[in-house]
């Protein structure tokens, strides 16, 4: 075919591509929104009223640009207290003495329930961050070791935290409780046409479920280890959301989190994702129970693997040779009573003076003469 014959085909394909341009899929994610928020300057803040909060990506100590932006955004969040916020920000004589909370000291005799209660009290002592600026940047794609470093920084600075920061801090505090398994639980709710996201750290110990975290509302924070199933725990959060007029739409469950503080693994934030309508149905409850069984087996697997592969290899020796195996099995049937025929032969050997070599050889080996090994 000539070039002139191919030209209309090429033009037709180009026209088809122009008439149907590619439309990127729009997703609504809090983290993506905050990342995009950082790209804007201070002059474009009027167009960003729908963004939930800022994220401090410059680290600590806070830069002057981030510091000024935090006060401006706080005035937008609380317009009724604008004059009070500006007076505190502009005043040089304000001296606020805040005592930093101390990490709880856990004794070996302390029960797991009391330890978790003390660790949750420490998270509550840091208080919820109402400034509209998250002080610590949490990247979900970082390994566990990197996230624990951020948690150590939280304990040093003792600043107010949000729900995602509280989850990372709870992982750090409960890392020594190897018999307690942790997994993230995320919630998506709708109130007055706006979407809200929340996350806590789920706990599983001795057949009971609970949670650790922080929130503006007391009912949406931690839960004690009293729930017999994961469905009961989720329904408790659903009732709390309903008390505040929120419609809980989806629940997201993550995978088990390793207790290795040097682990380079990443946290699996989403393993199970289902709407509340399906969870409340009978079919959804069956799926949730099935997921709970899989979760329990997944949680117990790392413990069994660590003890069976490493510790058993130290306790059990290598398989011996065949001769040693036969000798070990023969010692089980060892009898301390000498055989009657050997006693008679020994008496004859002592009285005889013929100098029999067989008798003399038996005299030189008293252990083989007095005992018999039966195989």
Positions marked active-site: 163, 198, 215
Query: Which residues make beta-bridge pairs with 199?
Result: 186
Distance (Å, whole) CA 215 – CA 127: 9
Instruction: Give the end-to-end CA distance of the chain in Å, rounded to a whole number.
Output: 93
Distance (Å, whole) CA 210 – CA 225: 4
Distance (Å, whole) CA 30 – CA 42: 20
Q: What strands, in cross-sheet order, belong to the sheet with 208-212? A: 223-227, 208-212, 194-205, 181-191, 247-253, 272-275
User: Tokens 């008798």 appear where?
Assistant: 359
Distance (Å, whole) CA 343 – CA 324: 29
**CB of 123 closer than 8 Å to CB of 235:** no
Pairing outcome for strands 194-205 and 334-335: unpaired
**CB of 36 closer than 8 Å to CB of 55:** no
Distance (Å, whole) CA 122 – CA 173: 10
Pseudo-torsion of CA 244, 248, 252, 256, nearest 10°? Answer: 40
Q: Where are the beta strands (DSSP E) in the chain?
A: 54-55, 133-134, 181-191, 194-205, 208-212, 223-227, 247-253, 272-275, 334-335, 372-373
- Phi/psi at 210 (5° precision): -155, -165
Q: Any residues with CB less than 8 A from the CB of 182 and at least 6 apart, and which?
A: 170, 171, 174, 201, 202, 203, 204, 256, 257
Burial class (CB in 10 A: 0-12, 13-18, 19+), 218: exposed
User: Tokens 């408790």 appear where?
Assistant: 236
């Amino acid at each position: 075919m000539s070039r002139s014959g191919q030209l209309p085909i090429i033009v037709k394909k180009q026209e088809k591509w122009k008439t149907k341009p590619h439309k990127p899929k729009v997703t609504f994610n809090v983290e993506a929104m905050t990342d995009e928020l950082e790209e804007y300057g201070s002059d474009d803040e009027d167009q960003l009223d729908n963004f939930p909060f800022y994220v401090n990506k410059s680290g600590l100590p806070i830069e002057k640009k981030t510091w000024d932006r935090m006060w401006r955004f706080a005035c937008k969040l609380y317009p009724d207290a604008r004059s009070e916020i500006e007076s505190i920000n502009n005043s040089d004589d304000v001296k606020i003495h805040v005592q930093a909370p101390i990490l709880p000291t856990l004794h070996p005799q302390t029960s797991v329930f009391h330890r978790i209660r003390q660790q949750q009290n420490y998270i509550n002592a840091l208080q919820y961050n109402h400034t509209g600026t998250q002080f610590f940047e949490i990247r979900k794609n970082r390994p566990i070791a990197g996230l624990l470093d951020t948690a150590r920084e939280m304990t040093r600075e003792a600043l107010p935290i949000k729900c995602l920061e509280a989850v990372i801090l709870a992982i750090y505090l409960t890392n020594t409780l190897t018999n307690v398994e942790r997994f993230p639980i995320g919630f998506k709710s709708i109130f007055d046409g706006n979407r809200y996201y929340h996350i806590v750290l789920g706990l599983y110990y001795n057949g009971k479920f609970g949670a650790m975290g922080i929130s503006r509302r007391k009912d949406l924070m931690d839960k004690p280890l009293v729930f017999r199933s994961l469905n009961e725990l989720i329904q408790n959060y659903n009732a709390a959301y309903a008390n505040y007029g929120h419609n809980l739409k989806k629940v997201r469950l993550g995978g088990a989190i390793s207790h290795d503080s040097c682990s380079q693994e990443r946290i699996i934030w989403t393993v199970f994702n289902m709407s509340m309508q399906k969870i409340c149905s009978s079919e959804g409850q069956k799926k949730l129970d099935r997921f709970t069984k899989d979760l329990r087996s997944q949680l117990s697997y790392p413990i069994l693997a660590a003890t069976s592969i490493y510790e058993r290899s130290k306790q059990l020796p290598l398989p011996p040779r065949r001769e040693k195996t036969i000798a070990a099995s023969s010692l089980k049937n060892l009898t301390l009573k000498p055989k009657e025929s050997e006693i008679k032969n020994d008496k004859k050997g002592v009285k005889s003076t013929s100098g029999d070599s067989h008798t003399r050889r038996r005299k030189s080996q008293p252990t083989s003469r007095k005992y018999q090994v039966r195989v």
